[in-house]
């Protein structure tokens, strides 16, 4: 019974709310552009959709204060830390569809995204098997990753493990989680300014010109499918 009231129901005619969170410090590069397309796709189907950029916010990761675990306290099931992430956690709580996007930094999500994930997930986590987590069930969730390496090289760099772990946590807390991968991205606008011999730069630029526009279209469709 306890779990039942946690299941968010979207009544017929209600507007679906999608929140996208950008963990890249760059708002308008690969991850940010893909998330904006996902938002546009969702909005095209009548959803209320927005993207927040973590780089604009001043916040910390989980402080391990344990107020969210104190069943007699006022912060039970809610992160008690009050900072720039607090409104984002509230929006994430209320969203029907939650999308987290991050570049890979040394084969993990960025520090910005990791700090957000810690606070998002830990507030709901319970150290008991007798109750479900305190998270609201959602219509759908998604993880969006961008990276320098090609998709075929993800396993060699252990990125598949990170994706599977974060996907598993999103599903444990919220809802089935779709994964959107965008590989072999154009990392900088002008490669000639830097030493970049570990990559085949002409091939990267070609890919960016020919494939990335298709990735943006794929992101739009992905956003549509998350809300219908």
- Of 52-60, 67-75, 80-88, 99-107: span binding ligand FMN (CB under 6 A): 99-107
Least CB distance to ligand FMN at residue 185 (A)? 4
Part of the chain binding ligand FMN (CB under 6 A), chosen from 79-87, 104-112, 135-143, 209-217: 104-112
Q: Closer to ligand FMN at the Cβ: 63 or 149? A: 149
Least separation in angstroms between residue 116's CB and ligand FMN is 15
| Total residues binding ligand FMN (CB under 6 A) | 17
**For ligand FMN, which residue of 149, 169, 181, 201 counts as binding (CB under 6 A)?**
149
Find the binder of ligand FMN among 107, 179, 196, 206 (CB under 6 A).
107
Residues paired with 99 in a beta bridge: 20, 142
Does position 29 bind ligand FMN by CB under 6 A? Answer: yes
Q: Are 102 and 118 in contact (CB under 8 A)?
A: no
103 part of the interface to ligand FMN, by CB under 6 A: yes
C-alpha span between 165 and 153 (Å, rounded): 18
- Please state, in angstroms and rounded to a whole number, the distance separating the CA atoms of residues 159 and 151: 10
Query: Is 104 among the residues that bind ligand FMN (CB under 6 A)?
Result: yes
Contacts of 81 (CB under 8 A, 6+ apart): 59, 60, 62, 63, 65, 119
Taking the CA of residue 16 as centre, how many other CA atoms within 13 Å lie in the half-sphere pointing to its CB? 23
- Token pair 């990753």: residue: 145
Report the residue from 19, 95, 144, 147 that binds ligand FMN according to the rule CB under 6 A.
Answer: 147
Q: How far apart are CA 115 and CA 130, in angstroms?
A: 28
* Pairwise CA distance, residues 138 & 146, whole Å: 24
30 lies in the binding site for ligand FMN (CB under 6 A): yes
| The one among 16, 17, 18, 24 contacting ligand FMN by CB under 6 A | 24
Give the Cβ contact number of residue 45 at 10 Å: 15
Q: Please report, as ranges, the residues that interact with ligand FMN according to CB under 6 A.
A: 24, 26, 29-32, 103-107, 146-149, 185, 187
């Amino acid at each position: 019974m306890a779990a039942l009231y946690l299941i968010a129901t979207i009544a017929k005619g209600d507007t679906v709310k999608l929140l996208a969170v950008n963990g890249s410090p760059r708002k308008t590069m690969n991850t940010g552009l893909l998330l904006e397309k996902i938002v546009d796709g969702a909005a095209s189907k009548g959803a209320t959709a927005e993207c927040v950029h973590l780089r604009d916010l001043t916040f910390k990761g989980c402080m391990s204060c344990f107020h969210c675990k104190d069943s007699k306290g006022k912060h039970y099931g809610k992160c008690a830390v009050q900072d720039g992430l607090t409104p984002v956690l509230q929006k994430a709580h209320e969203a029907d569809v939650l999308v987290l996007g991050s570049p890979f930094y040394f084969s993990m999500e960025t520090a910005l995204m990791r700090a957000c994930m810690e606070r998002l997930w830990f507030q709901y986590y319970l150290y008991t098997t007798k109750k479900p987590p305190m998270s609201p069930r959602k219509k759908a969730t998604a993880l969006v990753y961008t990276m320098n390496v090609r998709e075929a090289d993800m396993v060699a760099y252990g990125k598949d493990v990170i994706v599977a772990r974060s996907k598993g946590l999103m599903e444990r807390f919220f809802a089935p989680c779709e994964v959107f991968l965008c590989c072999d991205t154009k990392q900088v606008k002008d490669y000639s300014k830097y030493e970049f011999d570990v990559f085949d730069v002409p091939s990267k630029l070609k890919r960016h010109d020919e494939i990335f526009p298709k990735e943006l279209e794929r992101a739009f469709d992905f956003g549509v499918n998350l809300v219908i």
